[in-house]
């Protein structure tokens, strides 16, 4: 028998990176003499920044109540965007050399422009990333945007990004994606040695640290997972589907602190599989290869709709596949309040899950999660899923 | 004492009302005659489906949603129907009225008549600029039974940063959409009809800009509440040559009003701007301001910029120009084939529509709004903090802050353009009264 799954040191490392994200970035700056760029959405082509010697770090919220964004952002903009902007206005990201956004939703767009104006930063970049990623011309168009972006990064950093540097960055990023997918394979087991909490921390931390370093920890984790001892009851196998979600308290409550056994075996959100599932497929034209990766990745609902020759949502095809492959018993639709792109998909998503015979629970969350209320609802949901076992 | 100005009704008023009334009936009855009908955003490339034939009838979703909102009871039923089906109530108000109508299977005409069933389009055709448009019609299509849906992605940035690559991206999508429409309808596409529609579109949009500019005069020849009725044809079917003709008639008449000193209200003493779609069920906000204070709403970046064609931001991104954009004729451009027509309509819309510029940075909207205040000689801004549209709400508070810093008085009131349940009438009057009092503007009855 190997180590106890819950005590694997790599899990502690992921959590520590998240807790000390700002210190990590500052130290990285000192040790590498490089620049750090905060990004607001996972459509940012990090490979190009990395190739230019820049560390991309994702700007996430703190889940603390705040009151400083209301003069700038409407109340009906999502709590995530308020929380992100609050971090900037409060100076918690004061070490950033730059910020950027690859066009995604309106809420983050306004956060970008308000941050750019109200929080001093040396460099900022807004990329006109295509919305219609399902249309046949999106990759070609995005390639042009990437060319402009590469030049901007080169001018700012005083570097020249050659094919060699792009290849190296692609390799590091692809490796990170491959390793995390390998970790996810363990979640298909009857008793997965990794819970949703640890999986989420793995992915979030990958958005905050140097991927090379992250890869080293992932490699050692994969070794340990092979014979890790699972000493918890897996219970109901849950999938989480929804908006940006880095609220670890909710995961702790569901997996460790309530009356029914349950384990998240898959996270379909941008701090989960949507972030890393797809790799860059190398081709001679590096920027086209990167463009295709970002256009073809599991889409955010903000970019997923029918086009010429395609009727449906690409994301739903993935959800259906993952539900089956990971043997999901039930789904929690975790909705960032006021997140329009997800809200627009939810009626159809419920229909999809109904058709798949997957029971589902809808929860809407805010900057802070009402763990007590959610506990009651999750327990009721789990109990209802377990009714079949009770009576048959 | 407020100065007295001559007023008189608009001669073209009934023509505009009739067009709108007939528009909804034409869509409803289209199938009786084997015609094509399509639904989509008021921002869709309206000229493109026109190539399918002379008998092609659109239904644009935002004006339909606004019409529903005007009929409060119908709207409440539609909204509640949607909410019971799990549609979040913070989504676009127009969308919820539209989806709710489909779910109730009821269609409302401009006189409030309710008709069953909701008329199903042959296809949905839209653009996508905010988080909603493409997904709105995708879901509508699902609710109606897999109606084919096509959305043109126009997220290429503001007009002053346009280049050929960006225009090509949009043109290629428009070309694809024509093939798609031919497949769906089984009709052969007529490029001559497309060219005619593209010319009409530019004419309608530029002429509307010219009309809006005339409101810089004192007294203002038009007020915004009436302009909501007048601009509506642009959001219904601006590529219809009959619409272009109506705008040309309106332009002539408004010029004549200016020449003769005819005002929109007879006691104009205060000029203000607004900046968002209004609460459609409560347009009495505007009448209250007129009657009580002699306050005329001159327009807004919304009413002028939603469908008007303006030169907009200069190439450096520093100065906003509220000057009407040129039509193909004025620009000396000849449009003789499909490629020319698609390129023109793509570039014209991307470059000259203010509503497609300022969502890319609140810097644009700040400069644009301040310039409007100067050019239209406005005394203040009264903002509707509109919970019904996240696109128009974007940057709004930043603009407020910017104007205040430029010593422009700003009042704000909360509401929802298309959900009558989200509006507090009494509180709004209080906001207005307090604001006017703070500016030393007395009620006409107290003068």
Please write the tens of the pLDDT for every residue from A288-336: 999 999 999 999 999 999 988 888 999 999 999 999 999 999 999 999 9
What's the pLDDT tens digit per position in B217-246?
A: 999 999 999 999 999 999 999 999 999 999
pLDDT score at A389: 57
CA distance B96 to B180: 28
- Which chain A residues are within 8 Å of B141, Cβ to Cβ? 306
Say yes or no: A244 contacts chain B, CB-CB below 8 A.
no
Which of B129, B155, B171 is the best residue to mutate to test the A interface, defined by the most A CB atoms within 10 Å of its own CB?
B155
Q: Give me the residues of chain A with pLDDT under 50, please.
A: 392
Sort strands A236-242 and B270-274 into parallel, antiparallel or unpaired.
Answer: unpaired
Give the start-end residues of each E strand in B231-358.
262-263, 270-274, 295-300, 310-313, 320-324
Cross-strand bridge partners of residue A38: A57, A99
User: Residue B183 corresponds to which tokens in the numbers above?
Assistant: 């497949």
pLDDT score at B1: 65
CA distance B402 to B418: 27
CA distance A240 to A248: 13
pLDDT score at A388: 55
| ipTM over 0.90 threshold | yes
CA distance A24 to B277: 46
CA distance A257 to A262: 10
In this structure, what are the phi and psi dihedrals at residue B207, rounded to the nearest 5 degrees? Answer: -65, -40
CA distance B424 to B422: 7
End-to-end CA distance of chain A: 36
The answer to whether B412 and B443 are in contact (CB under 8 A) is no
CA distance B244 to B251: 10
What are the residues whose beta carbons fall under 8 Å from the beta carbon of A323, sequence distance 6 or more? A239, A331, A353, A356, A358
- Which chain B residues are within 8 Å of A337, Cβ to Cβ? 90
Q: Could you please report the per-residue DSSP string of B200-220?
A: HHHHHHHHHHHHHHGGGSSS-
pLDDT score at B446: 83
pLDDT score at A386: 81
- Which chain B residues are within 8 Å of A341, Cβ to Cβ? 131, 135
Cross-strand bridge partners of residue B300: B274
Binary contact (A344, B361; C-beta < 8 A): no
- Which chain A residues are within 8 Å of B401, Cβ to Cβ? 71-72
Maximum Cα–Cα distance across chain A: 69
Q: Give me the residues of chain B with pLDDT under 50, please.
A: none
Binary contact (A109, B394; C-beta < 8 A): yes
Binary contact (B157, A128; C-beta < 8 A): yes
Q: Specify the residue for token string 């819970």.
A: A195
What's the pLDDT tens digit per position in A113-171?
A: 999 999 999 999 999 999 999 999 999 999 999 999 999 999 999 999 999 999 999 99
């Amino acid at each position: 028998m190997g180590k106890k799954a819950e005590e694997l040191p790599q899990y502690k490392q992921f959590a520590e990176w998240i807790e000390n994200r700002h210190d990590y970035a500052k130290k990285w700056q000192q040790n590498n003499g490089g620049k750090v760029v905060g990004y607001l959405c996972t459509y940012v082509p990090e490979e190009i920044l990395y190739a230019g010697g820049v560390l991309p770090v994702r700007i996430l919220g703190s889940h603390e109540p705040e009151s400083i964004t209301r003069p700038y952002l409407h109340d009906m903009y999502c709590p995530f965007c308020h929380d992100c902007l609050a971090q900037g206005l409060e100076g918690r990201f004061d070490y950033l050399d730059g910020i950027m956004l690859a066009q995604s939703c309106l809420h983050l767009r306004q956060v970008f422009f308000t941050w750019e104006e109200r929080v001093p930063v040396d460099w900022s970049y807004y990329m006109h990333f295509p919305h219609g990623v399902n249309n046949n011309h999106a990759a070609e168009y995005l390639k042009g945007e990437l060319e402009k972006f590469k030049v901007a990064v080169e001018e700012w950093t005083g570097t020249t990004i050659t094919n060699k540097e792009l290849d190296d960055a692609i390799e590091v990023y692809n490796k990170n994606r491959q390793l995390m997918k390998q970790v996810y394979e363990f979640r298909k087991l009857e008793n997965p040695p990794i819970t949703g909490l640890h999986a989420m921390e793995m992915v979030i931390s990958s958005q905050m640290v140097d991927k090379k370093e992250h890869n080293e920890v992932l490699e050692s984790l994969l070794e340990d997972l092979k014979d890790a001892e699972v000493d918890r009851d897996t219970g109901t196998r849950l999938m989480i589907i929804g908006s940006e979600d880095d609220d670890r308290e909710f995961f702790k409550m569901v997996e460790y602190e309530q009356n029914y056994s349950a384990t998240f075996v898959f996270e379909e959100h941008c701090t989960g599989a949507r972030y890393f599932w797809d790799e860059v497929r190398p081709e001679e034209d590096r920027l086209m290869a990167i463009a295709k990766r970002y256009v073809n990745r599991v889409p955010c609902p903000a970019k997923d709709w029918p086009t010429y020759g395609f009727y449906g949502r690409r994301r739903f095809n993935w959800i259906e596949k993952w539900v089956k492959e990971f043997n999901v018993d039930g789904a929690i639709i975790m909705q960032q309040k006021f997140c329009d792109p997800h809200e627009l998909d939810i009626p159809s998503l419920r229909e999809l899950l109904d058709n798949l015979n997957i029971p589902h629970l809808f929860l809407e969350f805010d900057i802070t999660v009402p763990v007590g209320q959610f506990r009651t609802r999750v327990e009721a949901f789990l109990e209802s899923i377990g009714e079949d076992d009770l009576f048959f | 004492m407020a100065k007295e100005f001559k007023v008189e009704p608009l001669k073209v008023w009934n023509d505009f009302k009739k067009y709108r009334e007939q528009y909804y009936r034409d869509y409803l009855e289209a199938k009786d005659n084997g015609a094509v009908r399509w639904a989509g955003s008021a921002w869709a490339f309206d000229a493109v489906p026109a190539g399918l034939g002379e008998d092609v009838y659109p239904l644009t979703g935002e004006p339909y949603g606004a019409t529903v909102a005007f009929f409060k009871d119908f709207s409440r039923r539609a909204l509640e129907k949607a909410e019971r089906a799990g549609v979040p109530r913070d989504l676009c108000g127009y969308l919820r009225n539209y989806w709710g109508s489909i779910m109730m299977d009821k269609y409302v005409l401009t006189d409030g008549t309710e008709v069953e069933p909701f008329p199903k389009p042959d296809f949905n055709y839209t653009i996508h600029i905010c988080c909603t448009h493409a997904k709105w019609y995708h879901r509508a299509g699902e609710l109606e039974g897999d109606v084919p849906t096509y959305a043109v992605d126009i997220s290429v940035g503001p007009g002053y940063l346009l280049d050929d690559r960006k225009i090509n991206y949009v043109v290629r999508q428009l070309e694809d959409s024509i093939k798609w429409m031919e497949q769906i309808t089984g009709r052969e596409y007529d490029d001559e009809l497309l060219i005619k529609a593209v010319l009409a579109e530019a004419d309608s949009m530029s002429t509307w800009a010219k009309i809006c500019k005339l409101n810089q005069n004192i007294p203002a020849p038009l007020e915004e509440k009436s302009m909501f009725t007048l601009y509506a044809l642009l959001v219904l079917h601006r590529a219809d040559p009959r619409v272009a003709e109506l705008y040309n008639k309106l332009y002539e008449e408004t010029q004549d009003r200016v020449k003769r000193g005819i005002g929109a209200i007879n006691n104009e003493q205060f000029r203000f701007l607004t900046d968002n779609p209004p609460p459609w069920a409560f347009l009495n906000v505007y009448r209250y301001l007129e009657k009580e204070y002699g306050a005329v709403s001159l327009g807004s970046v919304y009413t002028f910029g939603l469908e008007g064609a303006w030169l907009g931001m200069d190439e450096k991104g520093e100065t906003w120009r509220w000057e009407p954009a040129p039509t193909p004729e004025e620009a000396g451009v000849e449009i003789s084939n499909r490629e020319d027509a698609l390129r023109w309509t793509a570039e014209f819309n991307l470059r000259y529509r203010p509503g497609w510029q300022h969502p890319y940075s609140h810097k644009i909207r700040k400069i644009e709004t301040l310039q409007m205040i100067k050019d239209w000689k406005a005394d203040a801004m009264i903002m509707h903090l509109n919970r019904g549209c996240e696109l128009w709400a974007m940057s709004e508070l930043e603009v407020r802050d910017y104007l205040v810093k430029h010593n422009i008085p700003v009042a704000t009131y909360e509401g929802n353009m298309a959900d009558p349940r989200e509006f507090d009438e009494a509180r709004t009057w209080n906001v207005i009264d307090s604001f006017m009092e703070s500016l030393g503007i007395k009620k006409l009855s107290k003068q």
